[in-house]
Amino acid sequence: MAERKVWILDTSTKGTGAQMVPLRDAREAPRAPEPQLVTPEMRRRRAAEPESRAPRRFRVVDVMTRQVLADDADLRTTLGVLGGVRRSVDVNVHVWEPKQDRWRVVTLAEQGELWKRRGSVGRDATGAAARD
């Protein structure tokens, strides 16, 4: 009597699919190792050191007369000048942008912040007027 062969479905082939092979051949044939996922080591970015920024410089110009009320003024001086202005629409406020080397009109949000803080000049932490 002839020896019977046991066949198995070998799915380790690539491309079109599996094939039928004798069990003995499947055991003898070395299989390729399973591919392993290797993730590269992440390099840490060096934190960029923040540039030291010079204090902001402001220019305040009266809208009606085009008179410069403050030129190249610091924040405290600018807030003091704005304290003497009746309405925020009466002046244009510019801020110096050193990277662009020009004066830029502040945005409405920035002007609103300046306008809210204009009364805080000359007050201490408790909100009482500073005494001279």
The overall pTM is greater than 0.95: no
pLDDT of 127 reads 42
CA proximity to 93, closest of 76, 110, 77: 110
Taking only the tens place, the pLDDT of each residue in 73-111 is 999 999 999 999 999 899 999 999 998 999 999 999 999
Is 11 part of any domain?
no
In the predicted structure, residue 125 carries a pLDDT above the cut 50 = no
Residue type, 16: T
Give the chain's domain count.
Answer: 1
Mean pLDDT to the nearest integer, 59-85: 94
Identify the residue with better confidence: 64 or 9. 64
Is 84 part of any domain?
yes
Is 82 part of any domain?
yes
CA proximity to 93, closest of 106, 80, 82: 106
pLDDT of 110 reads 93
Distance CA 6, CA 26 (A): 11
pLDDT of 68 reads 95
Output the average pLDDT for the chain. Answer: 80
Q: Token pair for residue 65? A: 């007369």
Show the domain range for 89.
Answer: 58-120
Taking only the tens place, the pLDDT of each residue in 13-26 is 666 777 777 777 65
